[in-house]
Amino acid sequence: MILLYELVGADANRPFSPHAWKVRMALAHKGLAYRTVPTTFLGIEHIEGGVSKTVPVIRDGDAVVVDSFEIARYLDKTYPDRPTLFGGAGGEAVSRFVERWSQTQLHPPLGAAALMNIYGLLDEANRTFFRESREKRFGKALEEVAPDPERFVAMLRLRLEPLRSMLEMQPFLGGQTPLFADYIVFGALQWVRVTSPLQFVDDPVIAEWFERCLDLFDGLGRATPAAA
């Protein structure tokens, strides 16, 4: 059985890493059995002998793979008889573009708006780590990063316009059925769904796509409740 190391806070049943959510969906898409290993920020350095500074990480037999995109590539190569995540080399290349778009255009406003919510999900030791590392990254106190979270929510809605426009033509980024490109964007939105009560998606076209993604694989995404 594949082991998936994913990020959690004080509640081990509330995984919130956007990248680990991509892999959860990818494993379900391939129909592969897996077991999750809940890991805190401070626990990451102990994963598989310190193989990575980030999650997700998977162990599949003797293979240890890090980075969500590389994991997806590994799964498609290793299990070619299972449903494809990319639909070929062209789909893989386009998915890489979607990944870059998501991480440069969606993650910054999402992460800023949900920053204090994520901080609130952690235990005391991990809060100390999170505050020190993020304040070093942003060059300011956590509370100063997003004093007005709604401003970042508005920014996100503008940046989601290409997705909304495309989804007017087809139900998924992958076409009639989802591919890894869908899970990339889903992971970003699921990240804030499970950490923040802010309403990040109000456009009906995007909201319907997100609901379809939440329902995939017997409601895998929906099984982790939204933040209250």
- The reported pLDDT for the residue numbered 113 is 93
pTM to 2 decimals? 0.97
What class is the 2-219 domain? alpha beta
Question: What single string gives the DSSP state of each residue in 27-80?
Answer: HHHHT--EEEEEE-GGGGGGGGGT--SSS-EEEETTEEEESHHHHHHHHHHH-T
Task: Specify the DSSP element, H or E, that contains 112.
Answer: helix 107-113
- The reported pLDDT for the residue numbered 72 is 98
- The reported pLDDT for the residue numbered 210 is 98
Q: What is the pLDDT along the chain (228 residues), one digit of tens a residue?
A: 999 999 999 999 999 999 999 999 999 999 999 999 999 999 999 999 999 999 999 999 999 999 999 999 999 999 999 999 999 999 999 999 999 999 999 999 999 999 999 999 999 999 999 999 999 999 999 999 999 998 998 999 999 999 999 999 999 999 999 999 999 999 999 999 999 999 989 899 999 999 999 999 999 999 999 999
Determine the Cα–Cα distance for residues 170 and 79; give it in Å rounded to an integer: 27
- The reported pLDDT for the residue numbered 26 is 98
Task: Specify the DSSP element, H or E, that contains 187.
Answer: helix 180-193
Domains in the chain: boundaries: 2-219
Determine the Cα–Cα distance for residues 33 and 178; give it in Å rounded to an integer: 19
Could you tell me the two tokens for 54?
């980030």
By CB atoms closer than 10 A (0-12, 13-18, 19+), residue 99 is buried
